[in-house]
Amino acid sequence: MHPSTTIGPRGLPISYQIRDITVSPAVVLAPMEGVTNITFRRLIRELGGPGLTCTEFIPSEGLRAGNKVSKLAEFDPDERPVSVQIFGRRPAGMAEAARIIEDMGADICDINMGCPSKRVCARSGGSALMKEPRLAADIVAAVRAAISIPLTVKMRSGFDATNRNAPELAWMCQEEGAEAIAIHWRTRDDRYGGQRQVDKIAEAVQRVSVPVIGNGDVIDVPSAVAMLQQTGCDGVMVGRGAMRNPWSLLQIAQHLRGEDVVSVTADERRRALLAFLSRFHATFRHERAALGRFKQIAKHFTADLPDGEVFRKLLLRSATIDEVIGHTEDYFSTWSPDELMPLSSPSAAQQAPAGSPQKASRSSSPPGAAAC
């Protein structure tokens, strides 16, 4: 754990430092392709919890000031601190992209070395960079030389089971100027399954002197506590867990601070789900586009609800916004508005020693949002 990390009443981190930026609470909304746009981040911030938000990843080669790609980097004036993530394999191109996002006012520049998508890896970006550690380090060095704002890196534990080199690569990135490292326990080949092994996160904590943020199946309070206790990391990063339970970041933050954890009523869940639909419709205007964005959230949001599979299928088969609203109102009408809905708790992280393999079920969190 980094010396500047603040420990709360439960003996767990409540904040950490990235140079002069305080991330408090020590809970980060992960960058997710096609998900963490400004609309989604606004809703999560309104519910509370994140000490840092991250944009979805942005291709460095397509980024130009004021163009369509730069829209992916939009953030609200009061969204602070905010990290903008870029990906690519050409050091000069990454450096230029970093200059642009610094000019846009980003607090932090993050380099993507973790995306598992075939499209990105085929271009030798994302987690494919873990196979070329020297190139990855050169990219960090080039970006560091180009900007004055803090620089961070997000990676996986490795590219595959034979090359779990996150501790070594984290050290190389630190030596070239990275000021915090986020590590997902999965390898690129694991995609959304695999055997849960957080040993490489724990090793990186011991290897580097900058903050390390643990990522991967952090979906609720128990899984967040397990990640922190098993690895000694400085904070946790929540990805798909924020879609299945948008209050998860707030609940984790409250637990870390020693506070009572908020309970969510049926009516609050109904209103939040419809808020996603309404905001996406206002943002994307076209009904089809809004429904596409909404359904990506809805298939995760419904995962833990009673009879959620039936509800999920109804939403995903809806052809219009009115259909979605009707199915949502019908589903929640069986609950009293102030009733607390009994959610399933599929936390993948049990209290096992760091590095103990545990089966991570693919079905526990529906795929469809590539963590960046």
Secondary structure class of 312 (helix, strand, coil): helix
- Helix-strand-coil percent breakdown of the chain, rounded to 5? 40, 15, 40
Cα 209 to chain centroid distance, Å, stands at 23
- Told to judge if 115 belongs to the known catalytic residues of this protein, a careful annotator would answer yes
Burial status of residue 9 (CB atoms within 10 A of its CB: 0-12, 13-18, 19 or more): exposed
* Phi, psi for residue 356 in degrees, rounded to 5: -70, 120
Separation in Å, CA 131 to CA 136, 154, 160, 163, 171: 9, 15, 9, 8, 15
Distance CA 181, CA 166 (A): 10
Of 109, 115, 121, 173, the catalytic one is 115
Secondary structure class of 7 (helix, strand, coil): strand
Separation in Å, CA 108 to CA 59, 99, 146, 323, 349: 16, 11, 13, 41, 29
Q: CB–CB of 67/49 below 8 Å?
A: no
Cite the DSSP H helix spans in 123-165: 133-146
Cis omega (within 30 of 0) on the bond before 31?
no
187 beta partners: 158
Catalytic residue positions, numbered: 115
